[in-house]
Structure 1
């Protein structure tokens, strides 16, 4: 696979972040909507595969197909823009401001949420034949995920909140590494391989992805999950979003940018 050097793909990261900040509202929302919808379908696929095979590892192995599809199509996930857009500000790109970054984050959040919610409604309808029968095994599994990842953390109070925050940090460390992976190669196969590995790792480890949760929790509520919308936001989405910001920016974006774009002077010899 054609490989770009770190200095080359870090420049590409900054260029991409700048382009996303200057993108029109319409295009930002469309791309975010489609990303949220495709990732939601991938989550259903992964859960279905796990239930049918009896192995969570099978679901983790297959889930990255969704991330690869959406990035090859040029769509945007919140976790990706958390990492990319601040780099354009650090690089002092013309017209890039904190307000522009927050605007982009807000639009991508709305688009991702609407896309994931649309698929959640469709899948809940399918699992229950129009809400006329109880959900089957896969639908029940999705409903219970929402309970475990809200009330399960709430049980431990502040330490539960800190735990889910750290799961969010680790998640976007891996997911944003996958986003970068799509930039280190100029071939489709190279991009897919580089994205697949860290995405599989995050899903297998049960880390928390804010956009995946935009599907899991609304669909869980539709399928009879025993938790509330407030439980979802306080004990999942808010700490996960914060963790995703920290993980993507601190462990992927800033480290790569600092050491490859703003390299320190070489140490004198002798």
Structure 2
């Protein structure tokens, strides 16, 4: 798999975060748009597979294909830049500021949303023959997902909001692990294998991904789902985005950066004393 050691790929993480933060507005939006659209197509594919086979695990096992493609093409998801871009600020890269980080996050959010909305509208047309008939079985499932994952949380009040936030955290813990895992190898096959497992896990476990939801909920609204735009924003997207930020940055980006880029000296007794003469003679 042409394995890359953690200390090396963590440096690549910081370099990637820096490069993304200085990307032009046009290129940031284009890459984010394509990432949102491709991931949305992957979600539509997974829902279709699940509906037609009755096996959610099969849809979860196939969904990562879209994720792998968009990252191999160099496109960006909000969940990924949540993890990578702040590391360049933490590493004190020249020109990095909080404003630059927020600019990147905002542009990627807009691009992902536009891409996901494009596919949501296209799928709504497909499953209704241009809105000339009632939604087919896949369309009905898309509408039901939106209802279940807004009203379902709202029914539990604060406990539902907490659950939603935690699902967002767990989601980007896994998704950002997939983003980073692609840097563990220099071969395409190695990157794909490393990405596949954590992405399958998040999808099958029903964790909340802000960009996937940018497709699922708007498509559900277009197809007559029993929930409102306000329900989607308050009872899904906002807490999901916050959870994704916490999960990716805390459990992936910061942990890897601290332990591999800012590694503390070895604490084995006598080791430093043994090394000192060699260092002085050098």
User: What interval of TM-score do these two structures reach, taking the shorter chain for normalisation?
Assistant: over 0.9
1:162 alignment partner, SS class: helix
**Partner of 1:173 in structure 2?**
173
Question: 1:108-187 residue pairs with structure 2 within 5 A?
Answer: 108-187=108-187
2:184 alignment partner, SS class: coil
**Partner of 1:188 in structure 2?**
188
C-alpha distance in structure 2 between counterparts of 1:268 and 1:179, whole Å = 33
1:15 aligns with 2:15: yes
The CA deviation at 1:86 is 0.5
The CA deviation at 1:232 is 0.3
Runs of 4+ in 1 over 6 A off after TM superposition: none
1:226 alignment partner, SS class: coil
**Partner of 2:91 in structure 1?**
91
User: TM-score, length-normalised on structure 2?
Assistant: 0.95
**Partner of 2:221 in structure 1?**
221
The CA deviation at 1:268 is 4.3
C-alpha distance in structure 1 between counterparts of 2:82 and 2:172, whole Å = 9
The CA deviation at 1:267 is 1.2
Deviation per residue, 1:113-168 (Å, 9 max, x gap)? 00000000000011101111000111100110000000100001111111000000
| The structure with more radius of gyration | 2
Deviation per residue, 1:97-123 (Å, 9 max, x gap)? 100000000000000000000000000
What residue ranges of structure 1 are gaps of 5+ in the alignment?
Answer: none
1:96 alignment partner, SS class: coil
What residue ranges of structure 2 are gaps of 5+ in the alignment?
Answer: 271-282
1:42 aligns with 2:34: no
User: TM-score, length-normalised on structure 1?
Assistant: 0.99
Deviation per residue, 1:200-219 (Å, 9 max, x gap)? 00001000000000000000
1:183 alignment partner, SS class: helix
